[in-house]
Amino acid sequence: MRLPFTLLLCAASAIAQTATGTISVITEDSTQAVVQRATVSVVNKSTGLTRSGTSGERGEFQATFLPAGQYSITVQAAGFKRSNIASFTLQVDQNATVRLTLTPGDVVETVQVTESTPLLEADTSSLGQVIENKKILELPLNGRNPFALGLLAGNTTPVTGMGTNLPFIAGGGRFSSNEVLLDGLDNNTTVTSGAIGRSGIAMQPSVDAVQEFKVKTNSFSAEFGHAAGAVISATIKSGSNEYHGTLFEFLRNDKLDANNFFTNAAGLPRAAFRQNQFGGVFGGRIIRNKTFFFGDYQGTRQRTAAASSVGSLPSTGIRGGDLSSLRIPIFDPLARRVAANGTVVSTLFPGAIIPQARINASSAAVLKLIPDPNFGAAGALSRNFFRQIPRGFNQDQWDVRVDHAVTSNHNLFGRVSKSNQANPQPGIIDGFIGGSSKLYRDIFQAVLNDTVVFSPTVVNEFRAGYTRHNGSRLVDNVSDGAKFAVDNKVALFPFPVTGFPSIAFNFSGEGTGSTQFDGFGGGSSDLNYENRFHFADTISVNRGKHNLKMGVDFRRNRFDTLRGNPFFGQFIFGSIFSSSSDTPGSGAPFADYLMGFPSLIQGTQMLDWGRQADVYFGTFFQDDWKLSKKLTLNLGFRYDLYTQPIDIRDRGGLFDLEKSRFAVPGKDGYTRGIVDGDHNNFGPRAGFAYQAGRRWVMRGGYGIFYGLRDQNQEMTQIAGNNPNTPALIAPVVNASRTVAPPYTINSPVLAGPTATTLEAYSAAAPLARTIRSQGFHDARFPMLDQYNFSIQFQPAEALLIETSYQGARGRDLATLFINVNQVPFEFALDGRNVQARRPYPMINGVVIPSFSKAKSNYNAFNLRVEKRHRNGLNFLANYTWQKNMEEGGSGPSSFTQNGGTSIALDTYNLSREKGLAPIDVAHIFNVSYGYELPWGPGQRWASGRGVAGKVIGGWQLNGITFVRGGFPTDIRTNRLPPIFNTFNVPDRVKGEPLQVSSKRGPDSFFNPAAFRVPGTTLSNTGAPIQLFGDSARRVARGPGSVNFDFSLFKEVTFGDRMRLQFRTEAFNLTNTPTFSLASSNTPPMTCIGRTPGSACNDNNPEFGKLSGAQATGRQLQFGLKFLF
């Protein structure tokens, strides 16, 4: 698209009002006729910042780009007394309208007007919630992450299991489509959890440093872009003419906590836990009414073993070769032969006992590093190992902000922030055999703001910012693992950096995770560095009834990474060589492991750094048109341009699904970005706000929004593919076709060529690799239609009731991974399900692109009741009833939410991927509150200021109650059709409830009788072929959650300027456990039966159980604050 140059010069950014607000003053006489040419002055009470002008033809004066805070408003006009509002609170991103009725009289006389912050939103159609400073400072907040309070807003859903530090999603969008702004700066990051491609929050400021923030959930104006979900805008505090500061210390200790549910069930004491958070803030003037400073520091020291985990490890007997407890027939891999029907059969090991002479010495050596089961019933095959995993980290963070008034019409501020954190990530087993690593989160951020008032009706704001984020993960004891492998003849992979490889037990013999026991070794080393540059400019023009805004927003992002998948390589052991085709359900992954016969060898590692870059550009026009005193129209239009990422040195490539080769940037007819661009992201916005009466407002809005594509960076990270990331060479194996095992755990692993074509590979010797890619010609960016209607009612001065409907319809969303290297089910029936029949026979693994073809549909009702602080009481309550549906999957970055899976069930029947979104929670209720007990100095009772008053006064109660329903989840089965797919679902038994009806708990949650192992059918050769199950995706729901957080304050004053605050905070006050779902590929979520049609617990007593307590037991925190 070609944009006029003049539009670029006068446009404004998506952050025009994210860190500031607007006060509109309307002057009227007693007959409600407008008073023109009245002199209006708006003054910031802390800094003296002043905006002055005269009211226009409709009696309105507007002050834009004002920092949130306390203001005084003065109006004077000939023939009227001067009117003054001594204190008016402006919130972040607020369009506040103040109507002043002038009284006839002498201008030297002053009328004091009491005006509180408006609760009714009569000027905007967007839905959202301001989390003001009082809530941020006073509500109990475990972990002291201020953004976690965003869950107090309506239409928000908690996020778990997605590899992001963002606490919630909202408005029917996906978590990668949220926009997070700090002082108007892009505060997003795609470097979280030591991996790139999962969106989160970069800088998380200290609670005491945040002024306030706002969560917008639906139909925000055109000035906001770069988002198709929620917009979260926060501000750091600034200095003032007065010196103010706070010193604080918060202490947590396991001696004050209740025991974790599973720790208690295991008869173990509370896990050790020590946490100290300490620091302070200080701000004031450098030059009165001209230059101000603010600074803060917070240190966190945590030492804990509180991460209780339940895993599955082989018993002593199983390790020694006695697999009879598995109740699975085990066959001899060295006795495999071709039967008359063309399939491979073998000879049974009597009693499922493998002779000692047949156990591989390297496999046995590794098992000496594995602890014995210590949890659950005797002989339990899963959830039989419990460990309090030691954790701890150190974090230091600080912010420095300076504000300067160059002139009365020209203001600057700058901020520099830094955070350093090192977080150990131990595995369930100590040492390299458990894959332990360390995660770093080192962040630097700088922002500059320049606001110029050209005239009372024309204001310009320019912002520039930079963020650097090191989100690297490094495996512990890499050299020890490599040495152990060499000493015990475990094959090392031919990578630039070598370490002990990953070992996984997967019934399918493919994939990357374990489905029988927890895997060993491996670990992840990823070096990830992100640099984000942000420039924006805004101009605001007031023309009578029209408040116009225009702007541009430019961002440049760069990711530098060195990574692998798995980084040290991986041996997958499946139920392949210990099975026999004439005995369905035979063979066990651990049996293949004991004898040293992997079914898949895979892994990659970059030869050189990847350096990816992309650009975002947005421009908009917004007109807030005051059509009448009662009706305001919000009209806007926005254009968003996201460029396709490139590697700045053209390393690597992307797999071309049509040409069966790797496309190299800038060569052979491909562009540097390889993937076609998406340049038609036009977003109209329209809404209204109608004040039907003094206490009533009706609002509605519609808009089209475009967000970031929700897909793993490994699909777009060009340097992560050939020729920069060569794969391995290993023969393909198949349970019903491969006779002799082609390699062992000791066989040398050979690196593949770096060529972009696959000519070196064949069906007999294929490329052993999982390939992720995307559609080259349909890589569109997600589009979300949002719409809402709401009614607000203010029955009292400080009380608001709002009912709202909001909806969102998503299009062009990223699908989950679709395995295009699967064969149709018909091939299995006629015996053609061999490697040579795969769509990409030269690849032994899944080829899983993601396409921009998924859809979503979100509908929600929300009831909000809010009471602003008055008479010592404030509260905010929200109830949300919602449904979030999807078609085509929820994107490959969010599939792991609560037992989900990443790949489509059947590539040739994608209609089965329609169902509940993994983040759908039908019912959510939350209420937060604060209450100052009404006795003591300044209160209703016992208000004396003596010693007694100091003792009984200054008490305050605060709390948060959060209740939600359960998340949806998949139920799987280990019985797979022989068509190279990676998972299957069981059959649903009609009439049986999904959850047990009585005594529901962690040991019995899902009803085993509700599902059964799918049946089989005979192929043309007479071999039994496993069928697909008929259960829907995410057919079941996990447990809900009830949580009460509570705090009690006691405050002692010393004179007029000093206060000492003692705080006691209880998290999960009632000690109610919130149980979590097991991983999707583990026995509690897998239907394992001995024969087709058998119940899910027929051969799996662990089915339907819950794996852990997501919420810890009751925790107490003591805090001490000195405020001056």
| pLDDT surpassing 50 at residue 3 | no
pLDDT digits (tens, 9 = 90+) for 225-255: 998 888 999 999 999 999 999 999 999 998 9
Domain-embedded: residue 49: yes
Q: Residue range 558-584: average pLDDT? A: 91
987: confidence class by pLDDT, cuts 50, 70, 90: very high
Confidence band for 305, pLDDT divided at 50, 70 and 90: low
Show the CA angle centred on residue 325, arms to residues 321 and 327, nearest 5°: 110
pLDDT at residue 1 in the model = 39
Kindly state whether residue 29 falls inside one of the protein's structural domains. yes
How do strand 570-573 and strand 502-505 relate by DSSP bridges?
parallel
The more confident residue out of 308 and 261 is: 261
Counts of helices then strands in the chain (DSSP H, E): 10, 66
pLDDT-derived band at 161 (thresholds 50, 70, 90) equals: low
Q: What is the DSSP string of 113-133?
A: E--PPP-S--S---EEEEE-H
Domain contains 81: yes
Distance CA 974, CA 575 (A): 10
What CATH code is carried by the domain that includes residue 10? 2.60.40.1120
Determine the Cα–Cα distance for residues 829 and 825; give it in Å rounded to an integer.
Answer: 7
CB atoms within 10 A of CB 595: 24
User: pLDDT tens digits for 24-47?
Assistant: 888 888 878 888 888 999 999 989
- Reading the block at residue 818, the tokens are 């679709």
- Quickly state the pLDDT bin for 509 (edges 50, 70, 90): confident
| Other CB atoms within 10 Å distance of the CB of residue 1013 | 29
Q: SS3 for 175?
A: helix
Q: What are the tens digits of pLDDT across the range 578-618?
A: 999 999 889 999 999 999 999 989 888 888 899 999 999 99
| Predicted local confidence at residue 272, as pLDDT | 80
Note down the domain range covering 49: 5-126
| CB proximity list for 641: less than 8 A, separation 6 or greater | 1, 615, 616, 617, 618, 679, 681
Alpha carbon distance 888, 900 (integer Å): 14
The yes-or-no verdict on residue 6 having pLDDT over 60 is no
Sign of CA dihedral 812, 814, 817, 821: positive
pLDDT at position 115, please?
60
Q: Residue 13: its pLDDT value, please? A: 32
pLDDT for the residue numbered 985: 92
Beta pairing partners, 251: 276, 1118
* 635 Cβ contact partners less than 8 Å away, ≥ 6 residues apart: 622, 623, 624, 625, 685, 686
Residue 889 lies in a domain: no
25 is a domain residue: yes
The answer to whether residue 837 scores a pLDDT higher than 60 is: yes
In the sheet that holds 69-76, the strands lie side by side as 50-54, 39-44, 69-76, 82-90, 110-113
* pLDDT of the residue at 1108: 63
Q: What is the pLDDT of residues 422-465, one digit of tens each?
A: 888 888 888 889 888 888 889 999 999 999 999 989 999 999 99
**45, part of any domain:** yes
* Average of per-residue pLDDT values in the chain: 88
What would the mean pLDDT of 1055-1079 be, rounded to a whole number? 89
Give the pLDDT score at 7: 30
Q: Tell me: the pLDDT tens digits for 245-281? A: 999 999 999 899 998 887 787 777 887 889 999 999 9
With 0.85 as the threshold, say if the pTM is over it: no
Q: Residue 1037 in contact with residue 964, Cβ under 8 Å?
A: no
The C-alpha atoms of residue 719 and residue 733 are separated, in whole angstroms, by 29
CA distances from 989 to 99, 981, 1005, 1095 (A): 65, 24, 16, 10
Give the C-alpha separation, 518 to 428, whole Å: 9
Predicted confidence at residue 163, as pLDDT, reads 58
CB 433 within 8 A of CB 520: yes
If one counts every other C-beta atom within 10 angstroms of the C-beta of residue 1124, the result is 14
- Is residue 1040 within 8 Å of 964, Cβ to Cβ? yes
265-279, 810-824, 893-907, 946-960: range with highest mean pLDDT: 810-824
User: What digits encode the pLDDT tens for the residues 195-236?
Assistant: 555 578 999 999 999 999 999 999 889 999 998 888 999 999
Distance separating alpha carbons of residues 662 and 658, to the nearest angstrom:
10
Asked if the model's pLDDT at residue 1045 lies above 80, the reply is: yes
Cα 659 to its chain centre, rounded Å, is 35
The answer to whether residue 202 sits within a structural domain is no
Q: What is the tens place of the pLDDT at every residue in 953-980?
A: 889 999 999 999 999 988 888 888 888 8
What is the model's pLDDT at position 867? 95
Residue 890 has what pLDDT?
A: 64
| Mean predicted confidence (pLDDT) in 75-95 | 86
Residues in the chain: 1124
Burial of 961 (0-12, 13-18, 19+ CB in 10 A): middle
Q: How many independent structural domains does the chain possess?
A: 1
Mean pLDDT value of segment 568-572 = 93
pLDDT for position 558 = 93
- Does the structure show a pLDDT above 70 at 162? no
Mean pLDDT across 775-803? 93
pLDDT at 669 > cutoff 80: yes
Regarding predicted confidence, which is higher, 749 or 512? 749
Residue 1007 lies in a domain: no
pLDDT, tens digit (0-9, with 9 covering 90-100), for 94-153: 888 888 888 888 766 667 766 666 789 999 999 999 999 999 999 999 989 999 999 999
CA distance 822 to 761: 18
Q: How do residues 516-527 score in pLDDT, each as one tens digit? A: 888 898 877 888
Closest CA to 1119 of 1060, 1071, 1068: 1060
Query: How much is the pLDDT for 100?
Result: 85
Indicate the pairing of strand 231-236 with strand 179-182: parallel
Q: Which whole-number Å values give the CA distances from 562 to 183, 190, 375, in the listed order? A: 32, 15, 39
Say which range, 568-572, 732-736, 982-986, 1062-1066, has the weakest mean pLDDT. 732-736
Mean pLDDT of 685-697: 95
